Amino acid sequence: MKFLDSPPRFLFFTGKGGVGKTSIACASAVALARQGKSVLLVSTDPASNVGQVFDLEIGNTITAVPAIPGLSALEIDPEQAAEAYRERIVGPVRGLLPEAELASITEQLSGSCTTEIASFNEFTALLTDTGDAIAEFDHVLFDTAPTGHTIRLLQLPGSWTEFLNDGKGDASCLGPLAGLEKQREIYANAVDALADPDRTRLVLVSRPARSPIAEIARTHGELADIGLTHQHVVVNGVLPEPQGDDALAGAIYRREQAVLAGLPDSLRSLPLDIVELKAANMVGIDSLKTLFATAEPATAIVTTLDSDPLPEVVDAPLEVLVDELAQSDHGLIMCMGKGGVGKTTIAAAIAVALARRGNDVHLTTTDPAAHLEGTLDGQLENLAVSRIDPEEATAAYRERVLTSKGSALDEQGRATLAEDLKSPCTEEVAVFQAFSKVIHESRRKFVVVDTAPTGHTLLLLDATGSYHREIARQMGKNTNFTTPLMRLQDPAQTKVILVTLAEITPRLEAEGLEADLQRAGITPWAWVVNNSLAAAQPTSTFLRRRAANEIAEIDAIAAAPRRRLAVVPMLAEEPVGAEALEALSHGLEEAVVPHI
């Protein structure tokens, strides 16, 4: 692999959700450790599954991987980081301030902005070698969150440095003002490390499909704009040339090769590695050792699949769920799940099906990396499409605040307010307000939300919970009020649909998300198993081996009592446009839906 030739100390793996960043990062860490290097693998994804890959409990402390000498791993747990951060601020004044004031400070530090900054501080500490425990590692590999969240993370050193240089800072996010000089130095050093090609290499990971390739092309430009120019491209999961006459395998292969032949010029100039698709899931060290091999060992072939039929998959078309949703004429429908499971496709298919039935539908996304317009490929009667863009939402929020609060201030006061609004924390409030507006709109029409990947969505829901607690505190016990969280908790108003793949990691993550939602008082309404090879019944031995791995996962999902379930087969062509999306809900079995 070219990206592992003479690697610098820091390697970042980024890309659209579901492209295999974790598998590539873990396999790279194993490969370097087997060369005798001391390696630390760090996950900055709020929904990390590094522990699942190694079958090891990792968490927020550096943990050795016993089976691979020299390899350790660390998952930056956002909640643990936020709790430690709050304690560093509140602890020194506990017993010195009244309880009411302590409670107010704690509440101010309970939002997703604090979670982001706490995680970010741990990230910058790794980049700047502030901890003695980090100095011993030859390489530090970062398995990052999906692209939009990662770009935000990589931009933050510059954002906070600029904010601290220009303003006084916000104690609710950064802590006591006396510590800002130290923070400024740390953030400036982080910027230097990220921009230094001798210390940092960016690995853009994609699948051989239209949407993730477009995503890394955009990422390439955005990262180059902030000084991160030393980049490599890895296209993961490329189907080997099929043997035999399986139409499904042939369609996948031809489409993927066309995507590779048509790489954007901006990516062609970068070093490129191709990683072949493997029949087995990349879970466990033995599997990771084979990921970069160009051909699978002969012992992996399951010859009985040449003749034995695959077990039948439960007949559960998406249309059945749409029919039940359409019994009402309004409501909020939220598609959630791990990055790359096809939330955009499923959300668009549901929205199109509801609009075709004559309902007024608004399809929107909170995912910074979503491509709704490309999926719909045109307009449809009764269907409006939008996107909650963090930059646009933040700019609009700043303008509203300056117009309202700023109107009563003098010139100096307006300047101070404008400076405060430059804080990266402003984005949290702005996105939350845009999300709340969408929730409110669902009282009179269908609003279908394609959410960001799991970790980012949980941070948004955390902001929703913080707002609810603050309103409840201000309004008191005997006052009637309705917050966005209360609408999300009402099954008559909100239907949460968990989208997953028939693979162990997405299934376990969906189950974890379900548990998180239930703790917040939100019960998922249905599950959708997307992109199922088993449901498509392939004849290629290679694809049948992958399909056979799905059966146990689908059975495990279907076994839950009273769980609504839909299974969407792979399709031969991308479901782009209203006609193809509507057909998707009927369960066509003709080839592959790429990860969108």
Active site residues: 18, 20-23, 45, 505
Give the residue among 548, 529, 528 at the shortest CA–CA distance from 538.
548
DSSP of 300-347, one letter per residue?
G--GGGGTSPPPPPP---HHHHHHHHTTSS-EEEEEE-STTS-HHHHH
How does strand 494-500 pair with strand 331-336?
A: parallel
CA separation for the pair 497, 333 (Å, rounded): 7
Q: How many CB atoms lie within 10 A of CB 301?
A: 14
CA separation for the pair 141, 121 (Å, rounded): 17
Backbone angles phi, psi at 70, to 5 degrees: 95, -10
Which residue shows structure tokens 């070698």? 129
Q: What are the structure tokens assigned to 525, written together?
A: 């309404």
SS3 state at 186: helix
Give the residue among 235, 237, 229, 239 at the shortest CA–CA distance from 204.
235
Contacts with 151 (C-beta within 8 Å, 6 or more apart), sequence order: 14, 219, 222, 223, 368
Q: How many residues are there in the chain?
A: 596
Inter-residue contact 187 to 161 (CB < 8 Å): yes
How does strand 231-238 pair with strand 494-500?
A: unpaired
Largest Cα separation within the chain, whole Å, is 81
Q: What are the structure tokens assigned to 390, written together?
A: 């963090």
SS3 state at 237: strand
Q: What are the structure tokens assigned to 94, written together?
A: 């506990």
CA separation for the pair 512, 524 (Å, rounded): 12
Q: What are the structure tokens assigned to 63, written together?
A: 């943990």
Inter-residue contact 52 to 508 (CB < 8 Å): yes
Give the residue among 92, 90, 148, 85 at the shortest CA–CA distance from 122.
85
Long-range pairs for 157-163 at CB < 8 Å and ≥24 separation?
Answer: 157/124, 157/187, 157/188, 157/190, 157/191, 157/194, 158/191, 158/226, 159/424, 160/120, 160/187, 160/424, 161/187, 161/188, 161/191, 162/422, 163/422, 163/423, 163/424
Backbone angles phi, psi at 531, to 5 degrees: 60, 45
Contacts with 393 (C-beta within 8 Å, 6 or more apart), sequence order: 427, 430, 431, 433, 434
Backbone angles phi, psi at 574, to 5 degrees: -65, 135
Inter-residue contact 70 to 36 (CB < 8 Å): yes
